[in-house]
Amino acid sequence: MTTVENEDTPTKLDFVRSIVAEDGKTGKWDCRVHTRFPPEPNGYLHIGHAKSICLNFGIAEEFQGKCNLRFDDTNPAKEEQEYVDSIIEDVKWLGWDWEERLYFASSYFQQMYDYGLELIKKGKAYVCDLGPEETRNHRGTLTEPGRESPYRNRSVEENLDLFKAMKIGAFADGAKTLKAKIDMAHPNLNMRDPVMYRVLHASHHRTGDDWCIYPLYDWAHGLEDSLEGITHSICTLEFENHRPLYDWFLDALEVHHPQQIEFARLNLTYTLMSKRQLLRLVEKGLVRGWDDPRMPTISGLRRRGYSPAAIRNFCKTIGVNKSNSTVDMALLEHCLRQDLNKTSPRVMAVLNPLKIVITNYPMSQVDELEAINNPEDPDAGSRKISFSRVIYIEREDFMEDPPKRFFRLAPGREVRLRYAYLITCTKVVKDEDGQVTELHCSYDPETRGGNAPDGRRIKATLHWVSAAYALDAEVRLYDHLLANENPGDLDEGEDLSANLNPDSLKVITHCKMEPSLGETEPFCRYQFERLGYFCTDPDSTPSRLVFNRTVTLRDPWAKVQKQEQNQKQSQKS
């Protein structure tokens, strides 16, 4: 088994790391490892990019190599500075460092142009006058060979003159292209005289109007890698068909030639992972923006309350290979809870309040009780919480007529209030419609702190907030954005909005928070005890608190209820 010593545990190597390790042994690249993460700034990064980021930066780190952050900004029609800024922020937030190596493909435009001249001089490229449609017609089909362009055999001088004229803007958009002279009968369509440059009079977000020709991916990408001295150029599976062309260009120019390696992109259940689709969600206003907490974008996950550690651990856990697969969202959530459980301070918050009057508790008395901040982390310490005569508990924690598996509060039943007292429900108060409006309970003064001196067993512990000290807050509950577990199954033309989960966002107001939350700041993460992990939204202000539910706690009771509901439904039908 191939392994690398990583801290104290040996880790199995995926197929990419195996190649890198093998190259290290044979000295193929003088024991250098240099990767790059090359996003196009035409959208926000998502969890699928995180897989690529962790692969590229992770390999560099593990093999004492380097990883560049490089923007592949060769198409001014789609790219914007806003995207550049967000990408930089997101990669940084994930915890990776490219040191001084922040690069842009657009900085290489002159060198690429010079290489273009060189290829023409070698007789391996030509200027073609065929328009887009004619080019397509000449390409042939999957089963039939293409036809050579009538401009294919122009002289080197003529090609040089025309290419230079293209550069200075002598032609209209689409009028001419520079093509590689390869093989119009090649079974791989990418090798049938691919276009290297198009005429495009567009303003670029970095180079402005300096250029009116722009290089295409196949031509540009290998050059970018070569110029930066990349050793392993890692990309996704759909570029496998392009590798012969990647190799052809670099061989033709006889320059540094990295190895392209392809891996399968990430798919997640209930998740759309194409930038095009995500852009549609944003543009149609079906979400609040790229950072909507329901979006699989890095900025969306951050706002939702994900931690970088959770995402990185997820990327490590899913592995890397060449087969298409769809990872269960439950695995992402598992990695999330695993990290949040260790790191999140506990607080008490009541989302759907039910008022309780402790009838035998003195009117003006206040108890200062001690609550542990994080049982998983002794260093997190403790805090004081105030108990008084009127408190709120979760409405779902009381049932007037409880089923047998429900062991929370019910008439005549005794439960524990977390860190406080044992209380017994003595009276249910209702309005005219029969709705429960409040409960009367008695407390046992001997149980201060939550312990019964006689050692009697209490099955349920409830979270609560003291009414006199409670803070009001808005809480946003999220569910899958998509109704369909495999949204990839959608047809291209299918209406996106028809596949959205109508219950993906529920906003609750007038939730009751313990007072320590008054000092919260955006992006602070908490566990609301017994409910889940929550994160302060950037919309939150001291006078108007707003929290996002990141993910619920695992909840067997909710599962039982769901099963019973389903059983009732299937009995009906």
Partner RNA sequence: UGGGGAAUAGUGUAAUGGCAGCACGACUGACUCUGAAUCAUUUAGUCGAGGUUCGAAUCCUCGUUCCCCAGCCA
Within residues 16-55, the interface with RNA by CB under 7 A covers 18, 38, 40
Q: What is the nearest approach in angstroms of RNA to the Cβ of residue 413?
A: 11
Site for RNA in 327-346 (CB under 7 A): 327-328, 330-331, 334, 337-338, 341, 346
Please report whether residue 395 would count as binding RNA according to CB under 7 A: no
Among 11, 190, 352, 424, the residue binding RNA under the rule CB under 7 A is 190
The catalytic position among 17, 36, 51, 275 is 275
Establish whether 40 is a catalytic residue.
Answer: yes
Please report whether residue 473 would count as binding RNA according to CB under 7 A: no
Q: What is the nearest approach in angstroms of RNA to the Cβ of residue 215?
A: 7
Q: What is the CA radius of gyration of the chain?
A: 31
SS3 262: strand
Beta strands in 272-360 (DSSP E): 346-347, 349-350, 353-358
Q: What is the nearest approach in angstroms of RNA to the Cβ of residue 348?
A: 9
Q: What span, in angstroms and rounded, lies between the C-alpha atoms of 518 and 512?
A: 11
Among 70, 221, 232, 302, the residue binding RNA under the rule CB under 7 A is 221
Binding mask 258-297 for RNA (x = CB under 7 A): ------x---------------------------------
Two structure tokens written together for 202: 């567009």
Helices 243-253, 109-121: axis angle to 10 degrees equals: 80
Two structure tokens written together for 288: 């609040």
Q: What span, in angstroms and rounded, lies between the C-alpha atoms of 440 and 317?
A: 50
Q: What is the nearest approach in angstroms of RNA to the Cβ of residue 318?
A: 4
Q: Which is nearer to RNA, 365 or 557 (CB)?
A: 557
Q: How far is CA 385 from CA 284, 420, 448, 468, 520, in A?
A: 45, 9, 13, 12, 16
Among 115, 246, 419, 464, the residue binding RNA under the rule CB under 7 A is 419
Contact 267, 253 (CB under 8 A): no
Closest CA to 15 of 243, 262, 222: 262
Among 64, 110, 153, 321, the residue binding RNA under the rule CB under 7 A is 321
Please report whether residue 303 would count as binding RNA according to CB under 7 A: no
Q: Which is nearer to RNA, 74 or 292 (CB)?
A: 74
Q: What span, in angstroms and rounded, lies between the C-alpha atoms of 96 and 117?
A: 38
The CA-based angle 187-189-193, given to 5 degrees, is 110
Please report whether residue 523 would count as binding RNA according to CB under 7 A: no
Q: Which is nearer to RNA, 405 or 544 (CB)?
A: 405
The catalytic position among 152, 164, 265, 288 is 265
Establish whether 238 is a catalytic residue.
Answer: no
- Residue 25: CB atoms within 10 A of its CB come to 8
Q: Which is nearer to RNA, 461 or 548 (CB)?
A: 461
Among 294, 304, 408, 512, the residue binding RNA under the rule CB under 7 A is 408
Establish whether 265 is a catalytic residue.
Answer: yes
The CA-based angle 218-224-228, given to 5 degrees, is 150
Please report whether residue 565 would count as binding RNA according to CB under 7 A: no
Amino acid at 383: R
Q: What span, in angstroms and rounded, lies between the C-alpha atoms of 478 and 400?
A: 29
Catalytic residues: 40, 265, 275
